[in-house]
Amino acid sequence: MPIRPPDPMLPIANGRWPVRGELPVLGQQNDITYYSSHAASVLNDTHMTGMPYWSVNPYTGCAFGCAYCYARYAHRYVMERAVTAHTLPDDSVAAVNAIPPWLAFERHIVVKRNAPDALARALRQGGPRHLALLKGEMILIGTATDPYQPAERRYRITRGILEVFAAHPGLHIGIITKSPLITRDADLLARIARRSEISVTLSLITTDRALARRLEPRAPTPESRLRAIARLRDAGVEAGINIMPVLPGITDDPGMLDTLEREAAAAGACRIGVAALRLQHEARKRDLPFIAQEFPHLASSYAAAYARDSNVSERYRQGLSRFVKQLGRKYGIRVGWRSEDPEAEAIPEAPPTDPQLAFEFAP
C-alpha cells in the first residue's frame, strides 16, 4: 500500500526542514503515521549500546508489529519526550495518548531523514569514529527496528546509509532484517563487500506461514525471506538467518526447527544464530497478554518462566543451543555469530549424543 504524500525529498515543515526535536508528520499508510526527525547522531558506539558492536537505526518504531519484539522501550522514550516537549502535532498527541505504548511502537514511526548526512559527518575520513571502526569493530544496522520495514520502500534511508558506508573501505558491517526488500540493494551490498566485510541476517523463527502470521502479523512471509537469502547469495553477499527469538512451547518443536535449518541450508544460508525469547519490561506488557489470548494453554507456564527474570531458564537455553547446533552439523551450517545480534548468546559445544531440548521451560 503506497504511503501518501508529502514527497519524501521535499522540506515538510512550513517550507523548511524540521529542526532538532520536531516531529512533523511526513506521511501516512493506512493506520500508520510517519514522522520526520532530525537526528543529532545515528552512529552509536559500544559505550551507548552496551554491546560489542556499534549500531545504526534508520527508524524508530517498526510497522511489522511482531508480538515478541524486545525493542519497544526505545520508542516509548522518544514519543514521551516528544509529547512532553510539545514537538508533535496536536492531533498526533491525542492519537499517541489514545493507545498503549507497545501499540504506538507499531503505529507511529519516526523516520530519521538526515541519517545518511549525519553518518557521513560521523565517518569523516581520519575522524576518531572512522579510525576506531577501522580497527575491526562491528557496525550493526537494524538492532532496534527493522531497516527494511515498509517505510524504506519510499524513504530509502537505509539505502542512503549504505551509500555512505560504500565510500569508506575497511569496515565490518552487519544488517538485520525480516524483509526481502533488502534484495533491492543487492548491487550496493555487493559493492560494499568488495571493499569491506558485510553480512546480512534474515530473522526467521518458523517456516510455518500460518504460525508466522499470528506471531508477526505484518512481516513478510517465511518463504519470501528464504528467497531473499538465495538472491543475496547469488549476488555474492554473505547471508544467514537468526532463529531469534525461539518461543518456548510454540516454535521450539524439534521437527519445526529441523525444517527451518534444512530450508535455510537449501537457500544457501552461511550461518545461523539462535536465542530463546527474552521478555524485558515493555515487551512483557505486549507478549504475556498475547500469549494468554493466542496460546492460553501456555499462559501460566510463561508467567512462571519469566516471573523473576527476562530470560527463560539456563537449562532451557542450553538445551536449545545444543539442539540447534546438532542440526547445524547435520545440514552443514555453522551455528554462532560474531556478536551480530543484541539477543545473541554463546553456543556451547555438545556431543552428538546429547538429548534434544527439554520442553519444560518453567523453573
Integer Cα distance of 361 and 195 in angstroms: 45
Could you give the angle at the alpha carbon of 347 between the alpha carbons of 72 and 138, nearest 5°?
Answer: 60
pLDDT at 28 over 90: no
> Cα(351)–Cα(66) distance, rounded to whole angstroms?
35
- 65-90 pLDDT, tens per residue? 898 888 776 656 566 666 555 567 76
The CA distance from 324 to 262, in Å, is 11
Question: Which amino acid belongs to residue 298?
Answer: L
- Residue pair 200/241 in contact (Cβ under 8 Å)? The answer is no
pLDDT, one tens digit per residue, over 88-105 is 776 777 777 777 777 888
Fold topology of 178-363: pyruvate-formate lyase- activating enzyme (3.80.30)
SS3 226: helix
247: nearest Cα among 211, 293, 210: 211
Dihedral-angle region of residue 332 (phi above 0 means left; psi in -120 to 50 means alpha; beta otherwise): left
Mean pLDDT of 5-14: 43
Highest-confidence segment of 52-61, 104-113, 222-231: 222-231
Q: How far is CA 135 from CA 131, 165, 167, 181, in A?
A: 7, 15, 17, 31
Q: Among 12-16, 53-57, 226-230, 322-326, where is mean pLDDT lowest?
A: 12-16
Query: How high is the pLDDT of residue 73?
Result: 64
What is the bridge-based pairing of β-strands 32-37 and 108-112? parallel
Q: What is the pLDDT of residue 248?
A: 94
CA distances from 49 to 57, 139, 140, 261 (A): 12, 11, 11, 30
**pLDDT for residue 24 is more than 90:** no
- Does 20 or 189 have the greater pLDDT score? 189
The two most distant CA atoms of the chain are separated, in Å, by: 68
Q: Is the pLDDT of residue 2 over 50?
A: no
Q: What is the pLDDT of residue 76?
A: 60
Cell representation of residue 312: 527463560
E strand map for 269-353: 271-276, 334-335
Q: 314 or 347: which carries more pLDDT confidence?
A: 314
Q: What is the mean pLDDT of the chain?
A: 84
How high is the pLDDT of residue 349? 44
Q: Which of 226-230, 236-240, 303-307 has the lowest mean pLDDT?
A: 303-307
* The predicted structure's pLDDT at residue 7: 44
Residue 135 pLDDT > 80: yes
Report in angstroms the alpha-carbon separations of 360 from 17, 256, 300. 54, 17, 12
pLDDT at 129: 81
Contacts of 162 (CB under 8 A, 6+ apart): 141, 185, 188, 189, 192
pLDDT in tens, 202-213: 999 999 999 999
Chain segment 154-189, per-residue pLDDT in tens: 999 999 999 999 999 999 999 999 999 999 999 999
C-alpha dihedral over 286, 305, 277, 78, to 10 degrees?
Answer: 40
- Alpha carbon distance 120, 142 (integer Å): 18
Report the predicted TM-score, pTM, of the whole model to 2 decimal places: 0.85
Which pLDDT score is estimated for 102? 76
Torsion of CA 43, 48, 49, 54, to 10 degrees: 30
Average pLDDT rounded to a whole number, residues 133-145: 90
Over the stretch 243-274, which tens digit does the pLDDT of each residue have? 999 999 999 999 999 999 999 999 999 999 99
Q: Is the dihedral of CA 302, 72, 28, 83 positive or negative?
A: positive
Contact call for residues 6 and 26 (beta carbons, < 8 A):
yes
For the CA atoms of the chain, what is the radius of gyration? Answer: 20
**Half-sphere exposure at residue 28, Cβ-oriented, CA atoms within 13 angstroms:** 4
The set of cell numbers assigned to 64 is 511489522
The residues pairing with 35 across neighbouring beta strands, listed in sequence order, are: 25, 110
* Cell numbers given for 349: 559445544
Tell me if 356 sits within 8 A of 291, measured CB to CB: no
Query: What type of residue sits at position 69?
Result: C
Contact 237, 204 (CB under 8 A): no
**Separation between Cα atoms, residue 161 and residue 122, nearest integer Å:** 12
Distance in angstroms (rounded) separating the CA atoms of residues 79 and 105? 9
pLDDT of 60 higher than 80:
yes
Amino acid at 175: I
